[in-house]
Amino acid sequence: MKTTKRLEQALIKLYNAYHQNLLNPEDCKACAVGNILDNHDSWKHLTNSHGSLQLSYVGRVHENLGRKFNGYSPSEILQIEKVFLEACGFKTPLCHYNKRPSSPTSKEVLFDGLVAVVALLCRLDNVDNVMDYSKLFEQENGEPVYHLDTFLA
């Protein structure tokens, strides 16, 4: 499956963070965006409210200058974070009185967040969702349309 360089790098970072228990939606260095951006938290200045899509003054300046962070624009970064937080069960923007999951770092919660993030990352790059294996089960006249070895190549 063809992917873009930024998508491939983001997927590798998210995969490693998930399996090494380094993913935490409440830590801006360890959330989805934090991991994509090499565990730095400087991206948090792109918005005034964590989980908001509204760019701060700093975010608008970077966006207008065409700046990219590991290939992603400021507005894309905010989209990724919002999708991750909401799929993990948080009400955004984050606030101490808004809804949050009872166990935000459970593997199930994090997996739900990653599934949503991967779908968004693929959509941003106009790539078929790399986690969609439904084609493997398509049949025509009782025979599989796609075979595993050719599908994964």
Neighbours of 146 (CB within 10 A): 14
pLDDT for 139? 73
Residue 93: name the closest of 31, 50, 56 by CA: 50
Contact 136, 21 (CB under 8 A): no
153 residues of the chain, pLDDT tens digit each: 678 999 999 999 999 999 999 999 999 999 999 999 999 999 999 999 989 999 999 999 999 999 999 999 999 999 999 999 999 999 998 888 889 999 999 999 999 999 999 999 999 999 988 887 666 667 778 777 766 665 555
Q: Look up the pTM and report it.
A: 0.86
Contact 11, 118 (CB under 8 A): yes
